Chain A
Amino acid sequence: MEKPVVVYEPFRAGLPPMREYLRSLWSRRTFIAAFSRSELREQNFDSLFGQLWLVLNPLLLSGVYFLLIDVIGGKSDSSRFAHLTASLFLFYLIANSLTGGVKAITSGQRLILNTSFPRIMLPISAAIVALFRFLPTLVVYIVIHVLLGLPFSWQMLWALPIIVIAIVLSLGLAILISCINVYFRDISSMLPYLTRSLLYLSPILYEAAHMSHRIKKFEVANPIFYLLDSWSRVMVHGEAPTSKGLLTSSIWALGIFVVGTYFFLSRERDFAVRL
C-alpha cells in the first residue's frame, strides 16, 4: 500500500496529530490568502473609497474624542491627538479581529459542512483581514505625526516587536472567540459591549502615565493595556517601552494564543455537527 492512509475514529477532546495538522495548514496557505483577499474585496478594501473609509472612521472617532477631551479636560496638546489616533488605530486591529473572528466559524457553515480543511484557517484569515485593514492606518499615522511636528527617534523601531505582539494577540483572540461562538451564539451579540468596555478600560482616551497608581494596579488584568501603553510611548513619544510593559503584553498575547489555539484544535472536529 503506497497510498497514504487516513483513519477517522470517534471524536475525543484532545489535540489532533500536530505535525500533520500543521502540514495541511501550510499546504492551504494559498487558500488562506485567496480567502482573505475575497473577504477584503467584500469589504471594498480594493476600492479607493473603501480604503479611505477605513482610515476615516477611526480618524473621525479620534477627532470627536479629541474635541470631547479638549472641552471637558481643558488642557490638551498636539501629542494628545497623536496619542488618541495611534492608540485607536492599534485598538481597531484588535477589535476588528474580534468582530471578524466571532463569526468566522458559524458563518463558514457551508464550507465547513462540505469540505475538509483545517478549520483554524477561518479565524486566521479573519485576523489577516484585520491586519490588512490596519496597515494603511499606520501610514496615515506617520503623516499625522509629521504634520504635528512630533519628533522621530530610533526608539520608534520598537514598534516592530510591538506589532508582532499585537498580531499574535489578535490571532489568538480571533481563534478563541470563533470557537466560543460555536457553543454560545449570543457572544456575537455581546461583543460590541465587550469591545466598547475594552476601549474605555484601555489607555486610549487617556494616557497610562496620568493614571493614579491605585487604579493602574488592576490594569494588569486588561490584556491590551500594556500593549497600548507601549505603543503610545514608542509611536507618539519616541521613547523605549518599559520592560514591564513589553513583558506583560507578550505574556497576555502568548497566553491567549496558546489557550485559544488549544481549545480550538481540540474541539474543531466537533464543529461540523454543531453548526
Chain B
Amino acid sequence: MISLSDFNHDHSQHSVAVSVKNLGLTYTTSIDRKPTLKARLKTLGRGKKHTRIVRALVDINVDVHYGTVLGIIGSNGAGKSSLMRVISGIVPPTQGRVEVYGSVSTLLALGVGFNPSMTGRDNVYLGGLAAGMSREEIDKNFEAIAAFSELGDAIDTPMRTYSSGMFARLAFSVAAVVEPDILIIDEALSTGDAKFKEKSLNRIKELRTSDRALILVSHALATIEDICNEVIWLDHGKLMARGNPAEVIAAYREFVDARKSASSDEDV
C-alpha cells in the first residue's frame, strides 16, 4: 500500500509510517458560551448560529517514514498540536485522509490520566494504562520508571504534593518506557530542570532507531536542529516548508525576524 509519491523522498528505502494527504481541519466553536439547550431553543426560530470557524489545518501533505525524526515548528496557534491530534486519531479530519502504519503512542500533554489525589505509584499505573500499556508491562517497568524519575520516596506521596517539575518528571518517565512504532511528543521537553531536560533528551535520542518514527513538536529550535533529520514548518495551518532541519529553521527564523522588525517599524 505504498503510493508512488512516497518514492520522491530521500527516505524511500524506508517504509511509510504516517501518510497525511490533503488534510484539512476546521474547528467549529460557539463564540460566547457553552452549548446549552436554552441557547439552542432561543436561536431555533432565527436559525442564526453563534459559531466561530477556525481553520486549524489547510491542505497538508506529509509523509513520515520509519527511521526519521520529524521536527515540527511554527508559531503559537500554527496548528502543530492539531496536526498531532489528527495523526493520533483524537480528532477526526475535516478533509483528506491520514493513514497510520503501526502502533502510535502520544505524549501530547504531560500526565494525562493522572489523578492528583493518588500517590505517584498509583499514577504510574493509571498513566501507563491510559497510554495503552498493560498492567504486566507496567509491573515489569516500574523500577525503571521510578528510577528514571529520580523522585525517591516521594513516589509514595499523593501527587497533589508534587511541584510542577516533579509532576513533569514522573509523567515523562511513564511515557518514556513505552516503546511504540510511532512516538509523538508535543512540547513535553519544556518542563523540568536542566539536568532532567538533558536526560529526557538523551532518552529520546535512544529511541531513534531505524524501525521507529518520531515526531517532535517544539519551540526549542536548537533541540530540533540537534535531534531531527527532517523538519516541517507550519504557519496558520499551512505547510510553509519541509526538508533539511538547518534550512527550514533558518527560513523560519528569517520569517519570524522579518515579522518582528515589521511590527517594530509600525510602532515607531
Contacts and interface: CB of A to CB of B under 8 A. Distances in A.
Contacts of B129: 28, 30-31, 34-35
Contact of A6 (B36, B89, B106): B89
Contacts of A115: 88, 90, 106, 108, 112-113, 130-132
A270 interface: yes
A274 B100 CA distance: 24
A42 B116 CA distance: 9
A73 interface: no
Nearest to A32: B129
Interface stretch (A106-114, A130-138, A214-222): A106-114
Given A1-B1, A30-B134, A42-B115, A6 B126 contact: no
B109 interface: yes
B112 A185 contact: no
Contacts of A34: 125-126, 129
A8 interface: yes
A42 B160 CA distance: 12
A1 B6 CA distance: 14
B93 A185 contact: no
B9 interface: no
Contact of B91 (A9, A42, A272): A272
A180 to B, nearest CB: 9
Contacts of B93: 8-10
B253 interface: no
B225 interface: no
B223 interface: no
A17 B15 CA distance: 27
B247 to A, nearest CB: 30
B35 A42 contact: no
Contacts of B89: 6, 8, 116
Contacts of A209: none
Contacts of B117: 38, 41-42
B85 A8 contact: no
Contact of B92 (A31, A42, A269): A269
Contacts of B202: none
A273 interface: yes
Given A34-B129, A117-B130, A6 B92 contact: no
Interface string A171-215: 000000000000111110010000000000000000000000000
B94 interface: yes
B62 to A, nearest CB: 14
B181 A3 contact: yes
A7 B108 contact: no
Contacts of B40: 184
A114 B100 contact: no
Contacts of B91: 272-273
A114 B106 contact: yes
B103 to A, nearest CB: 7
B115 A111 contact: no
B187 to A, nearest CB: 12
B86 A114 contact: no
Interface string A15-42: 0000000000000101100110010011
Given A1-B1, A185-B34, A111 B92 contact: no
B101 A3 contact: yes
Contacts of B95: 10
A77 B181 CA distance: 68
A142 B235 CA distance: 66
Nearest to B116: A42
A41 B40 CA distance: 37
Contacts of B240: none
Contacts of A8: 86-87, 89, 92-93, 97-100
B38 interface: yes
B122 A38 contact: yes
A10 B22 CA distance: 12
A118 B38 CA distance: 30
A11 interface: yes
A151 interface: no
17 contacts: A3-B102, A5-B99, A6-B99, A7-B99, A8-B100, A30-B129, A30-B134, A31-B130, A35-B126, A42-B115, A42-B117, A114-B106, A115-B113, A116-B90, A186-B36, A272-B85, A274-B35
Q: Which 10 A-B pairs have the closest CB atoms?
A: A31-B129, A11-B92, A184-B37, A186-B36, A114-B108, A8-B98, A116-B89, A185-B34, A3-B102, A114-B112
Interface of A: 1, 3-11, 28, 30-31, 34-35, 38, 41-42, 110-117, 183-187, 190, 269-270, 272-274
Given A113-B90, A273-B27, 18 more contacts: A7-B98, A8-B86, A9-B98, A34-B125, A35-B129, A42-B115, A42-B117, A113-B85, A113-B108, A114-B108, A115-B106, A184-B36, A185-B34, A186-B36, A186-B37, A272-B85, A272-B92, A273-B28
